[in-house]
Each structure stands twice: as C-alpha cells, then as structure tokens.
Structure 1
C-alpha cells in the first residue's frame, strides 16, 4: 500500500510542511513517484516518521536525530545527556513552583529574594532593593546566613537607629551606632557571621561582584549610613574582634 504526502502526514501525526522539511534536510528518504508524479510513501517512510516524532518528542534535536544512526552506544549517550538536562529542568520548575506557592500567600513580597518573605515586612524599600542585588551577586549560602540573621536575631531598635540615621549625624552618633553594628560583622562574636561570598568563579568576576555591591550600597544609602557601615567593619576587623574596640 502507498500513501500520498497528505496521507502519510496524517498517519504520522505531523504536517505536510514537516514531511517536506525532513526530505530537505535528509532525515527522510524521498519515495518513488507514480506515473502522474505524485509521491508514493511506504511503510518504511511511516516507521521513519514515527521514529523521528518519538525522538524529537523526547527532546532529541533534529541534527542529532540525523547523526544518531543505529549505534547503540551513541544512542545511549544522547539519551543520558537529555535525561541530565531534563533533571535540571525539573529541579528548576520545582523551585519555581515552590516560589510561586510562597508568592500566592497573603502578604507575600515579590520584591525580595526567595526565602526572605518572612522578614520582608520589617524591610524598607532600599533594604529590599539591596537584597535583590545581593541575591544576584552572592552565593546561596551567603544569602541564607543573611536571612537567618534577619529572622533569628531581630533587633528592631538597631534597625530603626540605622534606617533613621540623619544624613548629617554627628561623629559621636555615628561611632556609637557603628559599635552596635560591629558584632554582626565579626566572625568571632556570633555563630553566624554575615560573610558574602560571590557566586563568581574567577577573580575578575569576584571583583566585579564586589564592585557592583559597593555601587548598590552607595546608591541606596546616604553618606552617614555608609560611614557607619565602614566604621562597623573596621571595628570588627581589629585584632581580637569587636571585643577589643573599647580598649
């Protein structure tokens, strides 16, 4: 039995255009023609179309379908590579679903990184913006530490003092606030110090990440706040940690 192009397309669940394209790229052999010039497709053409449909449905690119042939080792290698890609895709989609589940809850905050929704209510717009930038630049482990500090060790009075610090705050006010902030930056003064490790894999990328973080800080906080952060870091970096700043 022989079929026309339209019939073979319908039988294989594809389109006439697709069948012709497969001929063009060499995936499907051209059939013999009748005396009137019409193509005569046979069982071998149908089985080939069904094979191509199955492989492309599994995610095999057409160029790989053409190159696969019948080598068992080659087939297994291609399938394993696709399976690895699918595993990563499934994980990504599961993460998206988990995030969407959080964002559909009452009071959810789409303008903070994943995991920070529980503390979002205490954050101001500049804090939220900084966290979004940080989540792009720094490792998941770093952001988890930041999240844990915000969640487990809330200090509303300290937060308010920093956020409401006047741009023209005097020397004594800045220094006193820096000393209160310093323990959060001192790895010897807390079990979960806030350290920011870039996601970058090269020194150049790491430098770019830190530079971008610095630019974000300068854009989101005024000079007095930045001065307090600088002082707090210097205090925490002294020999002996924050415990030595008063000696």
Structure 2
C-alpha cells in the first residue's frame, strides 16, 4: 500500500502543507518516489505522522517532538512541561467559568469583580472602577479583606464621602475626616498587611502606589481626596497608625 501526500494528509487528519513542513524540519522522513516523481508514503509514515499530530495537539513544540521518540530525561522533562502548562490552563479556565457563573446569576453586577457582588450596592461608580483596578494589583486574600472593609463601612460615612461636593467647606471636610479616621485606624489594626509595603500585592508596591496616585484624581474630586488626606493624618496620630489603607488610597 502506498499513499500520495494528499491521501496521507486526509488519513492523518492534517494538511499537505503541514506534511511538507514536517519534512523541512526533519520530523518526517521523505518517502520513495514513483517513476513519475510522485511520493509514495508507507504505513510507517502514517504512524509517524499520527504520533506527531498527537504530540502537537497536546501542546508539544515542534523542536521537542523528536525527544519523545527516545528514552531519557529529555522526553520526561518535555512531558512535565506540557503537564504544567495544561494545569495552568485548566486553572485559568476554571476561574473563568466561576466568574461567568457569577455574572449569569447576577447580571446587574457585571461591573464589579468576582466576590464583590455582596457589597455592590455600597459602591459608587468611582469605587467600582477602583476595585476593578485593585484586582490587577492585590492578591486574593487582600481583595477579600478589602471587601470586608467595605462591608463594615458605616452608611453615614459612605454617603458623606460619595456625596461630598468639590466645593465643600473646610469645616465639612474636616468633620468627615474626623469620622473616617477611627475606621482607617481600625482597618490597619485588623489587617496588618496594610502596614507592610511588600504584603498583599501581586506586583511591586511602588507600582501600585504610583498607579493609584494617577487614577485617584480622575475618580474622586479634590474635596474627597482632601478629606481622605486629613483622615489619614488624624489616623497617623493614633498609637496603631500605619500605612495608607487600601480601601480608598490617597
């Protein structure tokens, strides 16, 4: 039995161009030719091609395929590499399915990250944008703590901060800051990672701080930022002072 290139491609479930490429890179040996110059592939070509296809479908790079044909550490290492990559892909897909299920169950919370649907009603549009940015920078434990901070935020402070007008008076900003300061100090005591520069983040904390300094003026007006600054200064005077809280950074 002998097959043409096109027939071999159909049998193996691949393309003529793929076979030609495997010839060029040395993965598939060239067959004998008939007197008319046409290639005539044999059974061992078909078996080899199917093996190559199998490894490629598993994610094996072409330059590692030959290592699977021999005994030794190279083959084992190549398979372990594929297994690790597949495990990462499965984990990512599982996270994606979990988040899709959350969105399907509560379409009104499409603009809040996974885990924050229970506090969505407490978040302004600016807060939702900020929390979304947090998901890029903070690890899952830190995000869970941030959600807890939002859960315990008194409604009067939440309303006072969200409704603070850009032209609010000095006394209004100071009064709000004095109400916010004990809450900030409590967060620092309850969540020590807030006080540790290298804790709670997926990336360098300096990058987090720089990014938040850039986005805050676009999310919150000058009076809101000033009230928060004052609250931080007041909290700094308490014995349990620490770093700027992540719930609404300066």
TM range (shorter): 0.7 to 0.9
The DSSP-based 3-state class of the residue aligned with 1:167 is: coil
Matches within 5 A, 1:164-179: 164-179=163-178
Hey, what does 1:47 align to over in structure 2? 47
1:23 and 2:23 matched: yes
Change (3 A) 1:217 1:189: closer
- For each residue in 1:56-83, what CA deviation from the matched residue of structure 2 results, as whole angstroms up to 9, or x when unmatched? 1211111211454413321111111111
Could you tell me whether the CA contact under 8 Å between 2:67 and 2:75 is conserved in 1?
no
Partners of 1:188 and 1:217 in 2: CA distance = 20
Q: Output the aligned Cα RMSD.
A: 2.1
Query: Matched residues in 2 for 1:193 and 1:20: separation?
Result: 61
> In structure 2, do the counterparts of structure 1 residues 72 and 193 end up closer, same or farther at CA, with 3 Å as the change threshold?
closer
3-state SS of 1:165 partner: coil
Q: CA deviation at 1:53?
A: 1.1
Partner of 1:150: 150
Correspondence for 2:244: none
Contact conserved, 2:189 with 2:240, CA < 8 A, in 1?
A: no
Question: Aligned partners of 2:164, 2:122: CA distance in 1, in Å?
Answer: 17
Q: CA deviation at 1:187?
A: 5.0
Deviation at 1:134, TM superposition (A): 2.1
Provide the C-alpha distance between the structure 2 equivalents of 1:7 and 1:129, rounded to a whole number of angstroms.
56
What number of residue pairs does the alignment pair up?
A: 237
Helix, strand or coil for the counterpart of 2:161? helix
Query: For the structure 1 residues 2 and 188, does the alpha-carbon distance in structure 2 shift closer, same or farther, using more than 3 Å as the test?
Result: closer
User: 1:47: how far off?
Assistant: 1.4
- Give the ranges of 4+ consecutive aligned residues of structure 1 lying more than 3 Å apart after TM superposition: 66-69, 187-190
In the alignment, is residue 235 of structure 1 matched against residue 234 of structure 2? yes
Is the Cα–Cα contact under 8 Å of residues 12 and 46 in structure 1 kept in the other structure?
Answer: yes
Conserved in 2, the CA contact under 8 Å of 1:158 and 1:180?
yes
CA pair 120-239 structure 1, distance change in 2 beyond 3 A = closer
Task: Name the residue aligned to 2:246.
Answer: none
Q: Give the equivalent residue in structure 2 for 1:245.
A: none
3-state DSSP class of the match of 1:186? helix
| Residue of structure 1 equivalent to 2:247 | none
